[in-house]
Chains A and B, each alone.
Chain A
Amino acid sequence: MNLNQLSRRYTGPAVLTVVMLAMLYLVMLLYVAHELLLAGTLLVIAALALWTYTSAKTLALRYLFPGIAAAAVFVVFPMVYTVAIGFTNYSSQNLLDFERARQYLLDETYQEEGAKAFTLALFKDAHQFRIQLTDAEKETDQFMSPALALAKTAHITVEMVDAAKDKVVLDEPLGIKDVLAHQDALRALDVKLPSGEKLRMASLREFAPVKNLYATNPDGSLTNSKTGAVFKANMATGFYETDSGVQAQPGFKVNVGLAHYKRIFTDAKFSEPFLRIFGWTVGFAGLTVVFAAALGMLLAVVLNWDSLRFKKVYQFMLFLPYAVPGFISILIFKGLFNQNLGEINMILGGLFGIKPAWFSDPFLAKVMILLVNTWLGFPYMMVVCMGLIKSIPADLYEASAVAGAGPLTNFFEITLPLILKPLTPLLISAFAFNFNNFVLITLLTGGRPDFLDIAVPAGTTDILVSYTFRIAFQDSGQQFALASAISTVIFFIVAAITLLQMRFTRIAQEDKR
């Protein structure tokens, strides 16, 4: 066997072994970081990969595996996970798992009033820093830290050493300006003296001893050492609570069952905006498709006309809105429609002396969105309709010309009926696409102007997806779970649209045969 054959024979197994070992290492890291769900997912994938590339029965799967695995993990799994989050209380206040929230509370400390203090001095040591703490009452007690980066605000424990024993030569201490610049990193430090005493930053000039805020009781509840209040874990609300209902922050993640769905559908505070937004979403998607399809179809018919010249030029120009990236053209329109500086109002002002408030009047905002989306959407419809019209046999038109029919009769009696059937599934996909046209709404209006008569932040031009985005990422509460529940509702709507679309596709295809 020569080298070439050898390498060919053993490259595969060698690569597989290396990949497997790497994956196991990652699984271990995830396990150590308490990310059991992720560790489990990765382990399952690793096992499946191992089986796929060693078993003799999986020839086809070997080719499919990488793509399918990526799609399963990064497309399907997030969908399933979204549904699952919808049943929890996951939000910025209930971000952590129970164990972690409990540990967080147990790690919390407080500074006793009137305890002794240590004065802080910050030194530069090459590219890093050292802090020196001096007992405010007994200046001979001086402690020095090892070199610290002070770049990240991560909680790290710093073991101090007695400055008298371990002398380090340093420049003059840095001024208060540098302390201010690094105060976030300094505040995050857990400083431990050689005596075992724990210190934290108390003010810009001082560190002071800290005590644990919560002490554990045998029954699992926590006692606040400062106030003596007893906090019990409430598995329904996801907080440690006193009997009177005072909650300790942060809360933890618990399952709340159908609570969010109940809120969305029965609580007027949430169902009212949901219904209004749903109505606009359907109206927006429907009208967009109607306008874009009508304009596109008209253009397709006109551009299919034999006696017309320069067809290619028109076609090229009219295709532009489809070719220019959406995020650019939408933002261009955002500028053009600007009330005081935009070119559109300048033209309207010059011609009619009006200055419509496109972004603050709900009705005008909707008109603007529909105008922009028709502009964006008609080229696709035009191209599709041109393709469909080309496939209509020419003798039909010849026959109608012999019968003396005009162009309108031609359109309504021949063209429209013949292209409508194959077009319907495409119209439904266009509807589904616009139903979730997050980019347009977010970049153009951001959902604004907001409803004035509703408590939750919701906009008059918000569609369901942009509404969930606001609930999850912009609204101060970051109510991930509520957003996920609404997303789940959208899943069902999209699924229904998909079923409809597949049905019409089948009809269109049966027709072809």
Chain B
Amino acid sequence: MAIVLDKSQRWRVLAAHAFLIVLCLIVVFPFLVILSVSFRPGNFATGSLIPDTISFDHWRYAFGLPYQAADGRLVEPELPVLRWLWNSVKVATLSGLITLLFSTTGAYALARMKFVGRKHVLTGLMLMQMFPAVLALVAIYAIFDRLGSAFPAFGIDSHWALLLAYSGGIAMHIWTIKGYYDTIPYEVEEAAKVDGATPWQSFRLVLLPMALPILVVVFLLSFIGVLIEYPVASILLNTDQNLTLAVGTKKFVAEHNFKWGDFAAVAILSGLPITVVFMLAQKWMIAGLTAGGIKG
């Protein structure tokens, strides 16, 4: 835009910078405090943003290593943070793979095949997303409680139960993948079909390799989605050893047992990797945010 800059313009630019800087400070403030707290000695210590004395006790706690208490004893961390991290990663990886399997195939049928009720399936999937699982917690609890009385491995407090409960959450991913399939020209598959490929072969050997970028994104999305899922995990898991990070981390800032320093280290340990992965995948997600939603 070719507009002549006048004096008031310069002031407006300065004001805008001031506003943005203040806002950025507000956004970053909690993270800086957490970083500082994680290196402060003691769980109730207050102090300046840059700690006077550095202590790695909280980080040792987060990694499950014994640390020296104020009275000189060696203290074993009582909450198994690394175990939670492992549980979270395990469930999220498996769940991501299941999601990928179910949604790539489903999206293939919806994008490439003509069949009765195709529109209804798409609308149904869209509607499903509007009703979050948190509304059906009682039923989910009841189902896995009863399932557990027949097969303890799939009952309350098992990771298999959690995996099953998450396996149905594919509606959004089917839409995302279908949207991507729609952008891939059909001609390549048609050529394969002319050469005698079955639908499965043209899906598996032609379409899927071309859709690899979206498969990575959907895997990451579903992976992160499971890592940060709280409601279902909080009712299905209950023993300390079985918790996921999202459920367990809460225990550090309980009303009567406020472990601010340990929490800070755990929060960084678990939050940083997830944030980085999210940032890497965000480009596609932002495209999905505005372009997705309801497309005709």
- Which A residues form the contact surface with B (CB < 8 A)? 26, 29-30, 32-33, 35, 37-38, 59-64, 66-68, 70-79, 81-82, 85, 90, 299, 302-303, 305-308, 310, 314, 317-321, 323-329, 331-336, 338, 341, 343, 346, 375, 380, 383-384, 387-388, 394, 397-398, 401, 407, 425-426, 429, 432, 436, 438-439, 442-443, 465, 468-469, 472-473, 480, 483-484, 487, 490-491, 494-495, 497-498, 501-502, 505, 509
Q: Which of B53-61, B99-107, B186-194 contacts A (4 or more CB under 8 A)?
A: B99-107
Say whether B150 contacts A35, CB under 8 Å: yes
CB–CB A35/B139 < 8 A: no
Give 19 new A-B contacts, CB below 8 A, not counting A320-B275, A468-B137, A472-B141.
Answer: A38-B143, A38-B147, A60-B115, A71-B171, A75-B171, A77-B139, A82-B138, A90-B142, A308-B16, A324-B275, A325-B227, A332-B34, A332-B267, A341-B258, A375-B27, A436-B134, A442-B234, A480-B138, A494-B135
Q: Which of A32, A75, A332, A480 contacts B169 (CB 8 A)?
A: A75
**Cα A319 to Cα B24 with chains together (Å):** 10
Kindly identify, within residues 273 to 294 of chain B, every residue whose CB is under 8 Å from any CB belonging to chain A: 274-275, 278-279, 282, 286, 289-290, 293-294
Query: Which residue of chain A has the shortest Cβ distance to B106 in the bound complex?
Result: A67
Query: Is B70 an interface position by the 8 A CB rule?
Result: no
Q: How far is the CB of B31 from chain A (nearest CB, A)?
A: 7
Instruction: Tell me the bound Cα distance from A65 to B74 in angstroms.
Output: 55
Residue numbers in B under 8 Å from A501 (CB-CB): 130
On chain B, which size bracket covers the interface? Answer: 35 or more
- C-alpha spacing A25/B85, complex, angstroms: 35
By CB atoms of chain A within 10 A, which of B24, B98, B131, B171 has the most? Answer: B131
Q: Say yes or no: A320 contacts B249, CB within 8 Å.
A: no
In the complex the two chains form, is B1's CB within 8 Å of A338's CB? no
Contact B30 A498 (CB under 8 A): no
Interface presence of B213 (CB below 8 A): no
Q: In the complex, A74→B140 CA distance in Å? A: 8
Contact status of A387 and B286, CB under 8 A, knowing A68-B106, A308-B17, A473-B235: yes
Report the minimum CB–CB distance from A278 to chain B (whole Å).
Answer: 15
Q: How far is the CB of B168 from chain A (nearest CB, A)?
A: 3
Q: Is B75 an interface residue (CB 8 A)?
A: no
Q: Which of A35, A68, A321, A325 contacts B147 (CB 8 A)?
A: A35
Given the complex, which residues of B lie within 8 Å of A82, measured CB to CB? Answer: 135-136, 138-139
B142–A75 CB distance below 8 A: no
**Nearest B residue (CB) for A473:** B235
Set A35, A387, A401, A472: member contacting B138, Cβ < 8 A: A472
- 14 A-B Cβ contacts within 8 A? A59-B199, A60-B109, A61-B115, A63-B106, A63-B108, A75-B133, A85-B138, A321-B27, A328-B267, A331-B263, A336-B33, A401-B3, A438-B230, A487-B135
A319→B194 CA distance, assembly (Å): 48
A501 to B260, CA, bound (A): 41
Asked if B149 and A33 sit within 8 Å, CB to CB, the answer is yes
Inter-subunit contact B167/A74 (CB<8 Å): yes
For the complex, what is the distance from the CA of A164 to the CA of B252, rounded to whole Å?
Answer: 56
Contacts of A401 in B (CB 8 A): 1, 3
| Residues 1-23 (chain B) with a chain A CB within 8 angstroms | 1, 3, 5, 9, 12-13, 16-17, 19-20, 23
* CB interface residues, B 153-176, toward A, < 8 Å: 164-171, 174
A325 touches B275 (CB 8 A): yes
* Docked-complex contact B147 and A484, CB < 8 angstroms: no
Chain B neighbourhood of A502, CB < 8 A: 294
> How far, in whole Å, are A71 and B278 apart by their CA atoms in the complex?
25
Contact of A299 among B23, B141, B171 (CB under 8 A): B23
* A71→B127 CA distance, assembly (Å): 12
Inter-chain contacts of A335 with B (CB < 8 A): 253, 258, 260, 263
Q: Is B86 an interface residue, CB under 8 A from the partner?
A: no
Contacts A90-B142, A480-B142, A494-B130; is A472 near B260 (CB within 8 Å)?
no
- Which chain B residues lie closer than 8 Å to A329 at the CB level? 30, 271
Q: Is the CB of A387 within 8 A of B290?
A: yes
The answer to whether A64 and B105 have CB atoms under 8 Å apart is: yes
Partner of B137 from the list A30, A74, A469, A505 (CB cut-off 8 Å) is A469
Q: A78-B136, A82-B138, A384-B289 are in contact. Are A70 and B105 (CB under 8 A)?
A: no
Q: 3 closest A-B pairs (Cβ-Cβ)?
A: A74-B168, A67-B102, A78-B136
Interface centre among B20, B33, B246 (most CB of A within 10 A): B20
Least Cβ distance of B193 to chain A in Å? Answer: 13
Most buried by B among A64, A343, A498: A64
